[in-house]
């Protein structure tokens, strides 16, 4: 498949894009990773992280040279995750022309050898003499009701960028500008208008912007920011603001926030110190407890961080969509028995998780809930019987699945690329979806006869392999002997 076709797949949000990248550039990606990490296992994990980055950014970045872009992404994940400026890389990509091989080599050199520099507006070339703000948010694991709200500065921290909204009645924060403070206070007003939004320039149409300082910006994050205090006037926060700040440690929301932002964790930033989330006790929609942001009316945990402890007092019944997504350093999480729903991609990309135990009262599990959790070795279904699409997709270290013998249905791609999985299925199983065991090489144990196994509804490609992997005969071990399940190659529409 051509590079142009692969880029088109990413733009269409077709997961085949990842398979095509691995087919065409998989070995090359692994070699780059091996040059930066000590073991093959770590290199494979870096490649997995790079795939996540490609999935979330490639379509938007529209690279002119695909192999250069991929090489740079892998290099950043393998050795330069926290020291390379994405804006510098975007500028570099735009200059690449001609033979891709020198470009690839140059990309690796640029990303691995340049100093840690973050792109700032032109007017920041002079030394910043603004006195440092020594105010900080105290670290705490207490619930918000037992803490005192930070003292907000009415005029906000100096050096931040704002603009007047289209309606002329309000203003919005649009970037960190030349601010180098570790603790940043968002202003409550700009030009006499209330600041009601925090919205990155990438999410806006800059074509009508006359301010040359704003027009010149290509990166809106801050490498200095550790503590973010959002004023009471702000109602909407774009999540990308937080995801673009690699060293963020704490966020405090004011009383009028009604949308705390989605899609915080993009796959590039590790946020290894992000451990504190609080919201004003005067907020009518949300409250904070255990460093989690919880919607009062629906009992939905909408945002978590590395320091989150989900309350076990019955106050949380739903883990929201993307609530913990791409928190790579989240090492463990206890799901209380009050949780009835885990929504789509709630823990997607949490590579630090080693074990997960579902609540016994769980009623609904969303698609891709634990996809790309490459560190998970053991999962306990705890009585849950219907696995949705891609729920454990690309969990390459998953070996043990407790309670699998009680499953009644296994959705599409549920165990895609779970190469180490040892699974036992029971007589309750009624259906297996396409690609459920894609590229899974281990035998399946079935607590029934061969005849009972053959009676289970299986979609044609339930046991398949991609051309990037070797096909192996899979054996289903039944109580009266084995059944050979010859894996089917992916159809042309999936693997052309």
pLDDT in tens, 11-59: 888 878 888 888 888 887 887 788 777 777 778 878 887 888 788 778 8
pLDDT at 66: 83
Contact 318, 343 (CB under 8 A): yes
The domain boundary, picked from 67, 84, 113, lies at 113
Q: How many domains does the chain divide into?
A: 2
Q: Distances in Å between the alpha carbon of 219 and those of 70, 159, 181, 234, 240? A: 20, 15, 17, 22, 11
Phi, psi of 355 (to 5 degrees): -150, 145
Q: What angle do CA 432, 436, 437 make, to 5 degrees?
A: 115
The domain boundary, picked from 88, 113, 138, lies at 113
CATH of the domain at 33: 1.10.1740
pLDDT at 53: 78
In a domain, 325, yes or no: no
Model confidence over 114-132: pLDDT tens digits?
Answer: 333 322 233 333 334 444 4
Q: How many residues make up the chain in this entry?
A: 496
Contacts for 99 with CB less than 8 Å, ≥ 6 apart? none
Alpha-helical runs (H) found in 189-315: 212-215, 240-243
**Which of 2, 17, 134, 13 lies closest to 466 in space, CA to CA?**
17
Q: Which tokens go with 476?
A: 């289903």
The domain boundary, picked from 66, 92, 113, lies at 113
CA distance 381 to 366: 14
Contact 191, 169 (CB under 8 A): no
Contact 144, 281 (CB under 8 A): yes
Q: Which of 200-214, 230-244, 317-331, 349-363 has the lowest mean pLDDT?
A: 200-214
Phi, psi of 67 (to 5 degrees): -60, -35
Region class of 264: left (phi > 0), else alpha (psi between -120 and 50), else beta: alpha
pLDDT at 382: 96
Sign of the alpha-carbon torsion through 190, 192, 196, 197 = negative
Q: What is the dihedral of CA 173, 174, 175, 181, to 10 degrees?
A: 0
pLDDT at 461: 86
In a domain, 181, yes or no: no
Average pLDDT estimate for 78-94: 41
Q: Which helix (H) or strand (E) holds 44?
A: helix 40-61
CA distance 319 to 299: 9
| Number of CB atoms found within 10 A of residue 10's CB | 25
Phi, psi of 253 (to 5 degrees): -100, 140
Q: Which helix (H) or strand (E) holds 360?
A: none
- pLDDT score of 406 more than 90: yes
Model confidence over 208-226: pLDDT tens digits?
Answer: 445 554 444 444 578 889 9
- pLDDT score of 264 more than 70: no
In a domain, 324, yes or no: no
Contact 362, 339 (CB under 8 A): yes
Look-up of token digits 């196994």: 453
**Which of 249, 250, 253 lies closest to 198 in space, CA to CA?**
253
Q: Which tokens go with 182?
A: 């570790």
Helix and strand numbers (H, E) in the chain are 9, 28
In a domain, 455, yes or no: yes
Contacts for 313 with CB less than 8 Å, ≥ 6 apart? 338
In a domain, 448, yes or no: yes
Contact 186, 160 (CB under 8 A): yes
Beta strand spans in 166-249 (E):
171-175, 183-185, 189-190, 193-198, 227-229, 236-237
CA distance 330 to 305: 8
3-state secondary structure of 58: helix
**Which of 445, 450, 437 lies closest to 488 in space, CA to CA?**
437
CA distance 17 to 15: 5
pTM for the whole thing? Answer: 0.69
Half-sphere exposure of 197 (CA within 13 A, CB side): 18
Q: How confident is the model at residue 200 (pLDDT cuts 50, 70, 90)?
A: low
In a domain, 144, yes or no: no
The DSSP symbol for 130 reads P
472: domain range?
354-496
CA distance 359 to 380: 9
pLDDT at 54: 86
Region class of 345: left (phi > 0), else alpha (psi between -120 and 50), else beta: left
In a domain, 123, yes or no: no
Q: Which of 24-28, 192-196, 264-268 has the lowest mean pLDDT?
A: 264-268
**Pairing assessment for the beta strands 341-342 and 355-357 based on DSSP bridges:** unpaired
3-state secondary structure of 32: helix
Contacts for 131 with CB less than 8 Å, ≥ 6 apart? none
pLDDT at 488: 60
In a domain, 394, yes or no: yes
């Amino acid at each position: 498949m051509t590079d142009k076709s692969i880029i088109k797949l990413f733009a269409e949000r077709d997961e085949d894009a990842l398979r095509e990248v691995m087919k065409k550039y998989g070995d090359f990606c692994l070699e780059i990773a091996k040059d930066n990490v000590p073991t093959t296992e770590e290199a494979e994990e870096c490649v997995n992280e790079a795939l996540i980055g490609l999935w979330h950014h490639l379509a938007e970045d529209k690279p002119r040279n695909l192999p250069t872009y991929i090489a740079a992404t892998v290099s950043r994940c393998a050795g330069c995750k926290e020291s390379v400026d994405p804006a510098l890389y975007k500028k570099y990509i735009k200059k690449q022309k001609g033979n891709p091989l020198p470009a690839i080599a140059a990309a690796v050199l640029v990303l691995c050898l340049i100093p840690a520099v973050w792109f700032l507006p032109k007017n920041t070339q002079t030394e910043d003499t603004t006195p440092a703000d020594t105010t900080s948010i105290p670290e705490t694991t207490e619930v918000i009701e037992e803490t005192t709200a930070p003292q907000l500065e009415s005029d906000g921290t100096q050096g931040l960028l704002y603009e007047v909204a289209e309606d002329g009645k309000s203003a919005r924060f649009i970037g960190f500008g030349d601010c180098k403070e570790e603790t940043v206070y968002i202003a409550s007003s700009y030009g006499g208008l209330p600041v009601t939004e925090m919205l990155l320039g990438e999410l806006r149409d800059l074509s009508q912007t006359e301010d040359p300082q704003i027009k010149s910006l290509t990166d809106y994050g801050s490498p200095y920011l550790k503590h973010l205090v959002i004023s009471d006037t702000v109602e909407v926060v774009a999540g990308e603001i937080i995801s673009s700040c690699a060293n963020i440690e704490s966020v405090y929301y004011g009383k009028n926030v009604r949308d705390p932002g989605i899609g915080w964790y993009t796959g590039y930033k590790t946020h290894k110190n992000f451990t504190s989330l609080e919201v004003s006790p005067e907020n009518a929609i949300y409250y904070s407890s255990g460093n989690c942001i919880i919607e009062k009316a629906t009992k939905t945990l909408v945002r978590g961080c590395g320091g989150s402890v989900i309350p076990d007092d019955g106050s949380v019944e739903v883990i929201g969509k993307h609530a913990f997504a791409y928190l790579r350093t989240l090492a463990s999480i206890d799901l209380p028995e009050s949780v009835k729903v885990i929504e789509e991609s709630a823990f997607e990309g949490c590579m630090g998780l080693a074990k997960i135990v579902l609540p016994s009262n769980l009623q609904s599990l969303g698609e891709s809930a634990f996809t790309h959790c490459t560190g998970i070795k053991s999962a306990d279904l705890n009585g849950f019987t219907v696995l949705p699409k891609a729920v454990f997709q690309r969990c390459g270290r998953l070996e043990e699945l407790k309670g699998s013998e009680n499953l009644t249905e296994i959705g599409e791609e549920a165990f895609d690329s779970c190469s180490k999985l040892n699974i036992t299925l029971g007589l309750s199983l009624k259906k297996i979806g396409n690609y459920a065991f894609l590229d899974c090489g281990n035998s399946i144990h079935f607590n029934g006869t061969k005849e009972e196994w053959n009676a289970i509804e299986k979609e044609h490609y339930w046991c398949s392999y991609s051309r990037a992997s070797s096909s192996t005969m899979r054996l289903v071990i039944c109580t009266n002997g084995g059944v050979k399940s010859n894996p089917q190659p992916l159809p042309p529409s999936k693997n052309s």
